[in-house]
Structure 1
Amino acid sequence: MVFTKESLILEHQQILQKVKRIAFEIYEQNFEEKKLVLAGIHENGYFLAQQLEQELKNISPLEIQLIEVRLHKTEPLEHEIQITPLPESLKDTAVVLVDDVLNTGKTLAYTLRVFLEKDCKKLEIATLINRHHPLYPIAATYTGYSLATTLREHIRVVQENGEWGAYLI
Protein backbone atom coordinates (compact mmCIF):
# COMPACT_ATOMS: atom_id res chain seq x y z
CA MET A 1 0.00 0.00 0.00
CA VAL A 2 1.38 3.38 -0.98
CA PHE A 3 0.83 6.36 1.28
CA THR A 4 1.14 9.82 -0.21
CA LYS A 5 1.76 13.19 1.32
CA GLU A 6 -1.76 14.17 0.18
CA SER A 7 -3.33 11.43 2.31
CA LEU A 8 -1.28 12.29 5.43
CA ILE A 9 -3.54 13.59 8.21
CA LEU A 10 -1.11 13.46 11.15
CA GLU A 11 2.66 13.47 10.88
CA HIS A 12 5.09 12.06 13.44
CA GLN A 13 5.50 15.22 15.52
CA GLN A 14 1.75 15.86 15.61
CA ILE A 15 1.12 12.31 16.82
CA LEU A 16 3.71 12.73 19.58
CA GLN A 17 1.98 15.97 20.64
CA LYS A 18 -1.40 14.19 20.74
CA VAL A 19 0.07 11.37 22.84
CA LYS A 20 1.60 13.87 25.27
CA ARG A 21 -1.73 15.69 25.65
CA ILE A 22 -3.59 12.40 26.20
CA ALA A 23 -1.02 11.46 28.88
CA PHE A 24 -1.69 14.72 30.72
CA GLU A 25 -5.45 14.13 30.51
CA ILE A 26 -5.06 10.57 31.82
CA TYR A 27 -2.98 11.83 34.73
CA GLU A 28 -5.48 14.62 35.50
CA GLN A 29 -8.30 12.06 35.72
CA ASN A 30 -6.25 9.50 37.66
CA PHE A 31 -3.90 11.55 39.86
CA GLU A 32 -5.29 9.92 43.02
CA GLU A 33 -4.52 6.42 41.80
CA LYS A 34 -1.42 4.56 42.92
CA LYS A 35 -1.36 2.22 39.94
CA LEU A 36 -2.60 2.52 36.38
CA VAL A 37 -2.79 -0.23 33.78
CA LEU A 38 -2.35 0.70 30.11
CA ALA A 39 -3.78 -2.08 27.95
CA GLY A 40 -2.75 -1.62 24.33
CA ILE A 41 -4.58 -3.48 21.59
CA HIS A 42 -2.13 -5.27 19.31
CA GLU A 43 -0.46 -3.84 17.26
CA ASN A 44 -0.66 -0.07 16.99
CA GLY A 45 -2.68 0.33 20.18
CA TYR A 46 0.14 -1.36 22.06
CA PHE A 47 2.74 0.91 20.43
CA LEU A 48 0.67 3.93 21.48
CA ALA A 49 0.33 2.53 25.00
CA GLN A 50 4.14 2.30 25.14
CA GLN A 51 4.38 5.98 24.16
CA LEU A 52 1.77 6.90 26.78
CA GLU A 53 3.69 4.92 29.40
CA GLN A 54 6.83 6.96 28.68
CA GLU A 55 4.96 10.25 28.86
CA LEU A 56 3.14 9.30 32.07
CA LYS A 57 6.41 8.28 33.72
CA ASN A 58 7.81 11.71 32.81
CA ILE A 59 4.93 13.67 34.34
CA SER A 60 3.54 11.55 37.16
CA PRO A 61 4.45 9.34 40.12
CA LEU A 62 1.92 6.70 39.01
CA GLU A 63 3.03 3.10 38.88
CA ILE A 64 2.30 2.09 35.28
CA GLN A 65 1.73 -1.48 34.18
CA LEU A 66 1.75 -2.05 30.42
CA ILE A 67 -0.09 -5.02 28.98
CA GLU A 68 -0.80 -6.14 25.42
CA VAL A 69 -4.23 -7.29 24.25
CA ARG A 70 -4.50 -9.57 21.21
CA LEU A 71 -7.78 -10.52 19.61
CA HIS A 72 -9.02 -11.64 16.23
CA LYS A 73 -10.57 -8.42 14.95
CA THR A 74 -12.86 -9.96 12.32
CA GLU A 75 -13.99 -13.02 14.33
CA PRO A 76 -13.60 -12.05 17.99
CA LEU A 77 -16.02 -14.69 19.29
CA GLU A 78 -14.24 -17.51 17.49
CA HIS A 79 -10.85 -16.86 19.08
CA GLU A 80 -9.66 -16.33 22.63
CA ILE A 81 -8.52 -12.86 23.68
CA GLN A 82 -4.92 -12.98 24.91
CA ILE A 83 -3.53 -10.58 27.50
CA THR A 84 0.21 -10.45 28.14
CA PRO A 85 1.20 -10.37 30.92
CA LEU A 86 -2.10 -11.57 32.38
CA PRO A 87 -2.73 -9.76 35.67
CA GLU A 88 -4.05 -11.95 38.49
CA SER A 89 -6.46 -9.24 39.55
CA LEU A 90 -7.33 -5.70 38.58
CA LYS A 91 -9.46 -5.10 41.67
CA ASP A 92 -9.14 -1.47 42.78
CA THR A 93 -7.09 -0.71 39.64
CA ALA A 94 -7.79 1.88 36.96
CA VAL A 95 -7.37 0.57 33.41
CA VAL A 96 -6.99 2.57 30.21
CA LEU A 97 -7.63 0.55 27.06
CA VAL A 98 -5.60 2.02 24.16
CA ASP A 99 -6.16 1.67 20.41
CA ASP A 100 -5.03 3.68 17.41
CA VAL A 101 -8.37 4.24 15.65
CA LEU A 102 -11.91 4.10 17.02
CA ASN A 103 -14.23 3.33 14.14
CA THR A 104 -17.33 1.28 15.00
CA GLY A 105 -16.28 0.31 18.53
CA LYS A 106 -16.45 -3.43 17.79
CA THR A 107 -12.86 -4.25 18.75
CA LEU A 108 -13.08 -2.32 22.00
CA ALA A 109 -16.52 -3.73 22.84
CA TYR A 110 -15.30 -7.32 22.62
CA THR A 111 -12.21 -6.47 24.65
CA LEU A 112 -14.14 -4.91 27.55
CA ARG A 113 -15.43 -8.25 28.85
CA VAL A 114 -11.96 -9.47 29.78
CA PHE A 115 -11.35 -6.41 31.95
CA LEU A 116 -14.80 -6.42 33.51
CA GLU A 117 -14.27 -10.04 34.55
CA LYS A 118 -11.10 -8.93 36.37
CA ASP A 119 -13.21 -6.46 38.40
CA CYS A 120 -11.21 -3.34 37.59
CA LYS A 121 -12.02 -0.17 39.53
CA LYS A 122 -12.41 2.00 36.45
CA LEU A 123 -12.14 1.33 32.71
CA GLU A 124 -11.39 4.16 30.28
CA ILE A 125 -10.59 4.26 26.57
CA ALA A 126 -7.86 6.24 24.83
CA THR A 127 -7.64 6.44 21.06
CA LEU A 128 -5.41 8.43 18.76
CA ILE A 129 -8.13 9.00 16.14
CA ASN A 130 -11.90 8.82 16.56
CA ARG A 131 -13.77 8.39 13.27
CA HIS A 132 -17.30 8.72 14.72
CA HIS A 133 -19.01 5.68 13.18
CA PRO A 134 -20.29 4.01 16.36
CA LEU A 135 -22.17 0.75 15.91
CA TYR A 136 -21.44 -0.33 19.49
CA PRO A 137 -21.97 1.71 22.67
CA ILE A 138 -18.31 2.68 22.97
CA ALA A 139 -17.02 6.20 23.51
CA ALA A 140 -13.43 7.25 23.95
CA THR A 141 -12.56 8.92 27.24
CA TYR A 142 -9.41 10.39 25.64
CA THR A 143 -9.09 11.24 21.95
CA GLY A 144 -6.09 12.70 20.18
CA TYR A 145 -7.85 13.70 16.96
CA SER A 146 -11.50 13.58 15.89
CA LEU A 147 -12.13 13.12 12.19
CA ALA A 148 -15.51 12.58 10.59
CA THR A 149 -15.02 10.29 7.60
CA THR A 150 -17.25 8.46 5.16
CA LEU A 151 -17.78 4.73 5.58
CA ARG A 152 -15.71 4.12 2.44
CA GLU A 153 -12.71 5.98 3.80
CA HIS A 154 -10.23 4.36 6.13
CA ILE A 155 -7.57 5.59 8.52
CA ARG A 156 -4.24 3.80 8.66
CA VAL A 157 -1.75 4.55 11.42
CA VAL A 158 1.72 3.32 10.55
CA GLN A 159 5.02 3.21 12.36
CA GLU A 160 8.08 2.82 10.21
CA ASN A 161 11.68 3.23 11.41
CA GLY A 162 10.44 4.85 14.63
CA GLU A 163 8.37 7.46 12.74
CA TRP A 164 4.59 7.63 13.05
CA GLY A 165 2.12 8.73 10.43
CA ALA A 166 -1.67 8.65 10.10
CA TYR A 167 -3.19 8.48 6.63
CA LEU A 168 -6.66 8.79 5.14
CA ILE A 169 -7.08 6.14 2.45
Structure 2
Amino acid sequence: MAAKLQHKLDIDEHTAMVGIHTGGVWIAEALHRRLGIQAPLGTLDISFYRDDFTRIGLNPQVKPSQLPFTLDDRHIILVDDVLHTGRTIRAAMNELFDYGRPASIVLATLVERSGRELPIEAGVVGLTMELGPGEHVKLCGPDPLTLEINTAS
Protein backbone atom coordinates (compact mmCIF):
# COMPACT_ATOMS: atom_id res chain seq x y z
CA MET A 1 0.00 0.00 0.00
CA ALA A 2 2.89 2.37 0.73
CA ALA A 3 4.26 1.91 -2.80
CA LYS A 4 0.79 2.52 -4.29
CA LEU A 5 0.43 5.73 -2.24
CA GLN A 6 3.88 6.97 -3.30
CA HIS A 7 2.99 6.31 -6.93
CA LYS A 8 -0.41 8.02 -6.65
CA LEU A 9 0.56 11.09 -4.61
CA ASP A 10 3.24 13.73 -4.37
CA ILE A 11 3.92 13.36 -0.66
CA ASP A 12 5.29 16.64 0.67
CA GLU A 13 5.04 19.00 3.66
CA HIS A 14 1.33 19.57 2.86
CA THR A 15 0.50 15.86 3.20
CA ALA A 16 -0.95 14.44 6.41
CA MET A 17 -2.24 11.00 7.34
CA VAL A 18 -5.28 10.20 9.50
CA GLY A 19 -6.19 6.71 10.71
CA ILE A 20 -9.71 5.71 11.75
CA HIS A 21 -9.87 3.85 15.10
CA THR A 22 -9.01 1.13 15.60
CA GLY A 23 -7.77 -0.94 12.66
CA GLY A 24 -7.18 2.08 10.45
CA VAL A 25 -4.85 3.55 13.07
CA TRP A 26 -2.78 0.34 13.17
CA ILE A 27 -2.36 0.42 9.39
CA ALA A 28 -1.75 4.18 9.34
CA GLU A 29 1.07 3.86 11.90
CA ALA A 30 2.97 1.50 9.60
CA LEU A 31 2.26 3.54 6.44
CA HIS A 32 3.19 6.81 8.16
CA ARG A 33 6.60 5.39 9.12
CA ARG A 34 7.24 3.90 5.66
CA LEU A 35 6.25 7.03 3.78
CA GLY A 36 8.17 9.40 6.07
CA ILE A 37 5.30 11.87 6.30
CA GLN A 38 6.48 14.98 8.16
CA ALA A 39 3.19 15.89 9.88
CA PRO A 40 2.37 13.84 12.98
CA LEU A 41 -0.15 11.03 12.53
CA GLY A 42 -3.77 12.01 13.18
CA THR A 43 -6.45 9.68 14.53
CA LEU A 44 -10.25 9.78 14.34
CA ASP A 45 -12.93 8.11 16.43
CA ILE A 46 -16.08 8.60 14.39
CA SER A 47 -18.48 6.99 16.92
CA PHE A 48 -20.62 10.13 17.31
CA TYR A 49 -20.63 10.85 13.56
CA ARG A 50 -22.12 7.52 12.45
CA ASP A 51 -25.64 7.49 11.05
CA ASP A 52 -26.16 3.83 11.93
CA PHE A 53 -25.20 3.64 15.62
CA THR A 54 -28.85 2.98 16.57
CA ARG A 55 -28.60 -0.19 14.47
CA ILE A 56 -25.05 -1.33 15.33
CA GLY A 57 -24.75 0.25 18.79
CA LEU A 58 -22.36 2.86 20.12
CA ASN A 59 -18.79 1.70 20.67
CA PRO A 60 -18.38 1.36 24.45
CA GLN A 61 -14.73 2.46 24.20
CA VAL A 62 -14.98 5.85 22.52
CA LYS A 63 -11.51 7.34 22.02
CA PRO A 64 -10.76 11.02 21.43
CA SER A 65 -9.89 12.15 17.94
CA GLN A 66 -6.43 13.69 17.64
CA LEU A 67 -5.55 15.92 14.72
CA PRO A 68 -2.24 17.56 15.73
CA PHE A 69 -2.11 19.76 12.60
CA THR A 70 -4.42 22.09 10.73
CA LEU A 71 -6.45 20.44 7.98
CA ASP A 72 -6.85 23.58 5.88
CA ASP A 73 -5.23 23.16 2.45
CA ARG A 74 -3.60 19.83 3.37
CA HIS A 75 -3.69 16.68 1.27
CA ILE A 76 -5.12 14.07 3.63
CA ILE A 77 -4.53 10.34 3.36
CA LEU A 78 -7.47 8.79 5.23
CA VAL A 79 -6.73 5.19 6.31
CA ASP A 80 -9.21 2.49 7.33
CA ASP A 81 -8.97 -1.27 7.66
CA VAL A 82 -12.12 -2.38 5.80
CA LEU A 83 -14.26 -0.50 3.28
CA HIS A 84 -17.70 -2.13 3.33
CA THR A 85 -20.85 0.02 3.27
CA GLY A 86 -19.06 3.37 3.05
CA ARG A 87 -20.75 4.72 6.20
CA THR A 88 -17.56 4.80 8.28
CA ILE A 89 -15.80 6.85 5.60
CA ARG A 90 -18.74 9.25 5.25
CA ALA A 91 -18.69 9.78 9.02
CA ALA A 92 -14.90 10.29 8.99
CA MET A 93 -15.14 12.92 6.24
CA ASN A 94 -17.90 14.73 8.15
CA GLU A 95 -15.63 14.87 11.20
CA LEU A 96 -12.63 16.01 9.15
CA PHE A 97 -14.64 18.89 7.68
CA ASP A 98 -15.65 19.95 11.20
CA TYR A 99 -11.92 20.52 11.82
CA GLY A 100 -11.11 22.33 8.57
CA ARG A 101 -11.11 22.27 4.78
CA PRO A 102 -8.55 19.89 3.30
CA ALA A 103 -7.27 20.45 -0.25
CA SER A 104 -7.97 16.76 -0.99
CA ILE A 105 -8.71 13.44 0.67
CA VAL A 106 -7.47 10.08 -0.63
CA LEU A 107 -8.85 6.94 0.98
CA ALA A 108 -6.44 4.05 1.58
CA THR A 109 -7.98 0.81 2.83
CA LEU A 110 -6.45 -2.56 3.57
CA VAL A 111 -9.56 -4.48 2.46
CA GLU A 112 -12.26 -3.41 0.03
CA ARG A 113 -15.23 -5.75 0.19
CA SER A 114 -18.63 -6.03 -1.46
CA GLY A 115 -21.74 -4.43 0.05
CA ARG A 116 -21.38 -0.70 -0.62
CA GLU A 117 -24.40 1.41 0.40
CA LEU A 118 -22.87 4.82 -0.36
CA PRO A 119 -20.88 6.02 -3.40
CA ILE A 120 -17.48 5.88 -1.66
CA GLU A 121 -14.37 4.69 -3.50
CA ALA A 122 -10.88 3.98 -2.20
CA GLY A 123 -7.92 5.49 -4.04
CA VAL A 124 -5.57 2.79 -2.75
CA VAL A 125 -6.65 -0.77 -1.88
CA GLY A 126 -4.50 -3.52 -0.41
CA LEU A 127 -6.89 -6.44 -1.05
CA THR A 128 -10.34 -6.87 -2.64
CA MET A 129 -12.78 -9.48 -1.27
CA GLU A 130 -16.20 -10.68 -2.39
CA LEU A 131 -18.10 -11.72 0.73
CA GLY A 132 -21.69 -12.83 1.19
CA PRO A 133 -24.26 -10.80 3.12
CA GLY A 134 -23.69 -12.77 6.35
CA GLU A 135 -19.90 -12.69 6.19
CA HIS A 136 -17.69 -10.12 7.90
CA VAL A 137 -13.98 -9.41 7.75
CA LYS A 138 -12.17 -8.02 10.78
CA LEU A 139 -8.61 -6.83 11.33
CA CYS A 140 -7.18 -8.13 14.61
CA GLY A 141 -4.05 -6.74 16.18
CA PRO A 142 -2.05 -4.73 16.74
CA ASP A 143 0.82 -7.20 16.86
CA PRO A 144 0.60 -9.19 14.70
CA LEU A 145 -2.05 -7.84 12.35
CA THR A 146 -4.30 -10.63 11.07
CA LEU A 147 -7.53 -10.75 9.08
CA GLU A 148 -10.44 -12.89 10.26
CA ILE A 149 -13.50 -13.78 8.19
CA ASN A 150 -16.57 -14.59 10.28
CA THR A 151 -20.06 -15.75 9.39
CA ALA A 152 -22.99 -14.27 11.31
CA SER A 153 -24.87 -16.94 13.27
Aligned length: 141
Runs of 4 or more, structure 1, over 4 Å off, are: 78-82
User: Which residue matches 1:93?
Assistant: 74
Q: What TM-score results when the alignment is normalised by the length of structure 1? A: 0.74
Q: What TM-score results when the alignment is normalised by the length of structure 2? A: 0.81
Which of residues 40, 55, 58 in structure 2 aligns to 1:65? 40
Preserved contact between residue 81 and residue 111 of structure 1 (Cα < 8 Å)? no
Q: Superposed, which structure 2 residues align to 1:122-141 within 5 Å?
A: 122-141=104-123
Unaligned runs of 5+ in 2: none
Preserved contact between residue 46 and residue 95 of structure 2 (Cα < 8 Å)? no
User: Which residue matches 1:145?
Assistant: 127
User: Which residue matches 2:53?
Assistant: 75
User: Which residue matches 1:50?
Assistant: 29
User: Which residue matches 1:38?
Assistant: 17
Question: 1:45 and 1:29, CA in 2 relative to 1: closer, same or farther beyond 3 A?
Answer: same
- The AA in structure 2 aligned to 1:155 is V
Preserved contact between residue 36 and residue 65 of structure 1 (Cα < 8 Å)? no
Distance in 2 of aligned mates of 1:81 and 1:107: 15
Unaligned runs of 5+ in 1: 1-21
Question: How far off is 1:63 after superposition?
Answer: 1.8
Question: 1:38 and 1:75, CA in 2 relative to 1: closer, same or farther beyond 3 A?
Answer: same
- The AA in structure 2 aligned to 1:126 is A
Coordinate RMSD, CA, aligned: 2.4
1:108-146, CA deviations, whole angstroms, 9 ceiling, x for partnerless residues?
A: 111112223411011010110001211011111110000
- The AA in structure 1 aligned to 2:117 is L
1:10-57, CA deviations, whole angstroms, 9 ceiling, x for partnerless residues?
A: xxxxxxxxxxxx112212222263232111111111111001011112
- The AA in structure 2 aligned to 1:42 is H
Moved more, 150-159 or 27-36: 27-36
Distance in 2 of aligned mates of 1:116 and 1:96: 14
2:26 aligns to what SS in structure 1? helix
